[in-house]
Structures are given as C-alpha cells and as structure tokens.
Amino acid sequence: MSSSVDTQEGHAETNEELYQRFTNLVSSWPCFPPVLSISVSQLYRHDEGWHSSLAPMVGTIVADACFTARPSDIVVATLPKSGTTWIKALLYSTVHLREHPVGSSDHPFNSLSPHECIKFFEYQLYTGNKIPDLDELPDPRIFATHAPFVSLPRSVLASGCKIVYVCRDPKDTLISLWSFVNKFRIRRGLEPLSVEATADFFCDGVTLFGPYWDHVLGYWSAHLAHPEQVLFFRYEEMRRDPEAHTRRLAEFVGCPFSLEEQEEGGAVDAIVKLCSFEHMISLQATMCGKTDAVIGAVDNSWFFRRGVVADWQNHLSLETARKIDAITEARFKGTGLLVSG
C-alpha cells in the first residue's frame, strides 16, 4: 500500500520511513534474547515498561500514530492466553447475529478463525510497512490488541469507543503461554522452555506484553474510572456462566438481544454453544486453517489446548504456584481485583 504520513516537521514520510523510524526507536530499548525470556525471538522493553518482540511492538507504535478510531468501534484487549480467541468468537457472533445466524451454512466460523474475523492491530493490521485503509469497514468495526492500556492507540481513548478486556488467573495464563511458545520453539528447532524457567521469566515480567500484573491493573483502573467504556471480564467467571457474560457483552457493545431472540430463538444459548471450546475445535477452520500474522502463519488449532480452569495444577509445583500467588496478592491488594477483596 502506498501512502504517506505527515510528520510533526511537516514533510511527508513514506510508510517505509515511518516503520523504519519506529524500528530504530524500539531497537534502542533494552532487549532480552530468547534464552532470557518467554519467546522465540528477542523481547524488547517498551518505554512504558512492557515487553514484546520487535514487529508487534513497532506495530503497536504505528497503530498509535496512524489509527483513527470511531466512537462506534469495539476493541478487544487481552494479555496473550487469557481467552482472546473465545471473547473474539462471542463478540463477533453476537454483533453479526442478524447477518450470520448461528447454524447458517455460510457462517464465517466455518471457514475463518475468530482471529481472521477480528484482527490484531500489532500482529495483522499494522505490519509489513503497511498502513491499512480501515475507513471502508462498516460500523461497528471490531479490532483486537494485546497492548497494555498505556499503549493503546490514543484515538481509541479519545473516541470513547468500547473496550472489552478479559483477564485470566496468572498461573493458567502462564501454562497456556508456555505451551504455545514451545510449539513455536520446537517448530524453529529451539530447545523447549521448562515450565519452571518460564515461571521465573513470568514472575520477572519478561513475557509477551507483560508484566502480567501491570497489564491487568492498567485495564482494571480504566474500567473503574470509565465502566461505560471499559468492560472487564474474567475467564474463570465466563467459564462459570457464559450465557450471562454473553448477554452482558451484547448490552455493553450496544447490540442487546431482543426478547424474541432470547426467549423464542434461544440466541444466547446458540451463541454460547457455537463458541464453546468443544464446538470450535471441531470446525474445519480450526482443524486445518492457519492465521497469517507478523510472526508467521499460526495453525488455528494452536489457539485451543484444554480450555479449562486451574490446569496449572497439572504443571506447576506448589512452591511456584505460591510464589505467583504472593506476587498477585501484593500487587492486587486493595485494588478490588483479588477475589477475596
């Protein structure tokens, strides 16, 4: 795509120059080789204190500079492995229920993964020297990001558009991430990370878009300050009552189910079943499809592992679990984020 961006100095900068400028900036920040982080490539530490590999970090900064949000947009925000694929599926099928009734033979999920239906700014849209033209997309446009709240595109905040955040128990997030990153490491011929080494990096915050606790706190504070703009869900509570969360989600984004849809059509149940782990893994798009991302094509099946709560008990030592809980307790105490208060 050929376009240019006006710089503060007033001269037009090509997309290549813009990406190069931000690549140079990120390259000047501290970095951690893959042996010192949960990653397959070097992780950089952003000025705002979070970590990611080069291309998604540059994409995040380009999105901040170039994305123009509309008040009607919806942005899904998560840490990796917190339930992104699931919330994307629920949100997309809810917002598009009338065009794509659940069970229709041409439902997008039959051929596309939720990650192709709702794209990440930093992995799919603002990549490869491109500034995508998103103006033609019909309302409501839905995007996703793993970026922390402090690094969201500034127009997202200014527009007042809706932000849907999902967090998950850090121990399950860690185990899910460990398994996912090792798939990439094995594919690239790298030694898999041990669970204990992964836990150490996680606790030190040297993990994708982490520290975990900063990420969650950033969106939690935003939710407390602007509950009408930032919805805050927990994976564990979604598992417990997906129907109530789907209704809440629909209301929050301004697409509530009609009484008829709820009572006669069973729309909520149908969406919950459509997006359930068990149904999603049986889809052709999951079993055979891939999603293109700046880190390479990812098998859609890699986004599904077990989909349960507390699987960490099968992998982490009690000592490590206690260490993570102690950090969570210390960081979340008094914020209202701890389940016990």
The site for ligand PAP (CB under 6 A) is made up of 78, 80-86, 172, 176, 179, 275-277, 280, 303-307, 311
Bridge partners, 212 (sequence order)? none
Tell me the C-alpha distance between 97 and 104, whole Å: 10
Q: If we measure between CA atoms, which residue out of 243, 290, 283 comes closest to residue 103?
A: 283
Please say whether the beta carbons of 235 and 169 come within 8 A: yes
Min dist CB 172 to ligand PAP, Å, is 6
| Catalytic option among 51, 146, 223, 245 | 146
Min dist CB 335 to ligand PAP, Å, is 22
CA 155 to chain centre: 18
Tell me, yes or no, if 146 is annotated catalytic: yes
Tell me the C-alpha distance between 219 and 159, whole Å: 17
Structure tokens of 246?
A: 């789907």
Please say whether the beta carbons of 205 and 51 come within 8 A: yes
Q: Is 210 exposed, middle or buried (0-12, 13-18, 19+ CB in 10 A)?
A: buried
Tell me the C-alpha distance between 5 and 19, whole Å: 11
Helix ranges restricted to H, the chain: 15-27, 54-66, 84-95, 114-117, 154-159, 170-187, 195-204, 212-225, 235-240, 242-252, 259-263, 267-274, 277-280, 284-288, 318-332
Q: Which is closer to ligand PAP, CB of 114 or CB of 153?
A: 114
Min dist CB 114 to ligand PAP, Å, is 8
Min dist CB 329 to ligand PAP, Å, is 22
Min dist CB 13 to ligand PAP, Å, is 32
Helix (H) or strand (E) holding 5: strand 4-6
Active site residues: 146
